[in-house]
Every structure is written in structure tokens, then in C-alpha cells.
Amino acid sequence: MDRIAQTFARTRREKRAAFVAYLCAGDPDFDTSLAACRAVLDAGADVLELGVPFSDPLADGLTNQLAAQRALEGGMTAARVFELVKRLREKSQVPIIFYTYYNLVFSNGVENYVRAAKEAGVDGLLTLDLPPEEADELLAACAKHDLKTVFIVAPTTPASRLPCIGAAATGFIYYVSREGVTGVRDQVATNIPEAVARIRQHTALPVAVGFGISTREQVRQVAKVADGVVVGSALVNVIKDNLDNRAGLPARLRITAADLVAGAA
């Protein structure tokens, strides 16, 4: 099995959900980002979802938009993002998913990008703005280079599209629990159990739930029904709040991440 399948199989045996940690690659600079990623992995994250910094992150709320801006201003490029993954692979075999936009893949040449991602140590691609109905070129490249694909289901996704999404995904399904963009919310959405059950009618892949999950209690609620729980903004906010203390940032991030990870147990 690949690293993604192995991880979800392990967490299933352990009767818990996988904790998926989101950070923006290169936020606020390369070295701090590397230390931040290692901190959340040390805290027990099962999957690392790396946001590839982009100038127009349409699915992201203000927290992650500013993270991408800091990364770009700090000099992150596609090549540097791949280098970050290679550095992480020196010490970790935790699955790494790219959270990206199709322009970044297409502009570098789809197959070239997929090959480079695989060679760097990436396990899967979540391309936010690419629907599976238009993803033939990417799907072919991912199949050729054994890079897993992740596709999104939203609260507004009609039931008629679920078979197509389920057929295109090879890593897991990402259920976006709220309409709109990423960000911290006071409460989790109330329709998650029904939505996850509906998705599972069309795929045997794990279903991870994200968007708006930011506390240990919220993680615990979602972990009762999902195979994975994705937390991003709550972690990115730790980086934002410690920009003037970059040396101490990893330790603070590790504490926050460990508290969130505990909710998935």
C-alpha cells in the first residue's frame, strides 16, 4: 500500500480518525516553515497538507491568504516547495498532500509538475479549482507516476456528481463542511454525519472533513464520523501570532498541534 492508504489503515485499526495538519509551504520563510512542519509532525499529525503559495487562493480565507502572501514575499517558488518536501522526507515518512491550484500545475507542464512532485516525495495532489470532469490530463499523469489524487465534495455538490468524484479520487475524498472559504468557526457544521454517509455510498476511499475545524472539541466531534479531520487556520494562526518570535514558534506550534491531535484519538 502507498503511504496514504497505510496511514488510514493504521488509524482505522487504532479506532480513531487521522489528523490532517495544514500549513502553507514557506510561511513565513523557508527555514521557519521547515521547522513548523516538523513541529506538527512531532506533535502527532498523521498527514501533512502543504498549501502551495499562490497569488490568487480563491478557496482560502484571510488567514491562509496572508500565509500565502508571507510565503511568496519570503521567496517561495515551485522549486523551493519541492525542496521543502525533500527536506521533510529526510526525517519523516508521513504522507504529504499538496493543496494547490491548477494554474500552478498547468503553467509548469502537467506531467513535469507531477513527476517533480513524486520525485520530491509528495504523495497526493488536491487541486482546488480543477473538477474531475476536466482533469483527464492530470489524472493520466498522476496514474503514470503513482501520485494519488484528492477531490473535494462540498455541501452544494449534487448527488449526481458523487460517482464521478469518487471514481477520479485515488487517495481520499475531502469533504468541505461549509460553504465559502477556509477559516476558524465557532461551531462545526451540523450536517457532517449525513454528508459523510452520502459520500461513502460512492467510494471505498477514506473521507476527510475540513474547513472551520479549529478546536480539540470540534476535532473530536468530526472524528466520530469521519476517517480524517483537517485543521488549517488554527495552526496557521500560531505562525501569524509568533512572527516576531520565529525561534520559539515551533515549540508553540507543537503545543497547539498536540492539543488538536488529541481530539482525533
Model confidence pLDDT, tens digit, residues 200-248: 999 999 999 998 899 999 999 999 999 999 999 999 999 999 999 999 9
Packing angle, helices 249-262 and 233-241, rounded to 10? 160
The contacts of residue 12 (CB under 8 Å, 6+ apart) are: 227
Distance CA 9, CA 175 (A): 19
The contacts of residue 77 (CB under 8 Å, 6+ apart) are: none
Of 242, 174, 238, which Cα lies nearest the Cα of 208? Answer: 174
Per-residue pLDDT tens over the stretch 4-40: 999 999 999 999 999 999 999 999 999 999 999 999 9
pLDDT above 80 (res 70): yes
Per-residue pLDDT tens over the stretch 253-265: 999 999 999 999 8
Among the listed ranges 30-34, 73-77, 176-180, 231-235, which one has the minimum average pLDDT value?
176-180
Instruction: Please give the grid coordinates belonging to residue 85.
Output: 518536501
Active site residues: 49, 60
- Whole-number pLDDT of residue 179: 52
Is 232 in contact with 22 (CB distance < 8 Å)?
yes
E strands, 68-156, are 96-100, 124-127, 148-153
Of 256, 213, 241, which Cα lies nearest the Cα of 66? Answer: 241
Spacing of C-alpha 230 from chain mean position = 7
Q: For residue 180, what pLDDT band results from cuts at 50, 70 and 90?
A: very low
Domains of the chain: 3-262 (3.20.20.70)
Q: Report angle CA 140, 173, 190 to the nearest 5 degrees.
A: 155
Number of H helices, E strands in the chain: 12, 8
- Whole-number pLDDT of residue 190: 74
Instruction: Please give the grid coordinates belonging to residue 20.
Output: 490532517
E strands, 177-218, are 207-210
* Mean pLDDT confidence for 75-84: 96
- The burial of 160, by beta-carbon neighbours within 10 Å (0-12 exposed, 13-18 middle, 19 or more buried), is given as exposed
Instruction: Please give the grid coordinates belonging to residue 259.
Output: 492539543
* Mean pLDDT confidence for 62-80: 93
**H/E element, 86:** helix 78-89
Three-state secondary structure call for residue 73: helix
Instruction: Please give the grid coordinates belonging to residue 107.
Output: 503553467
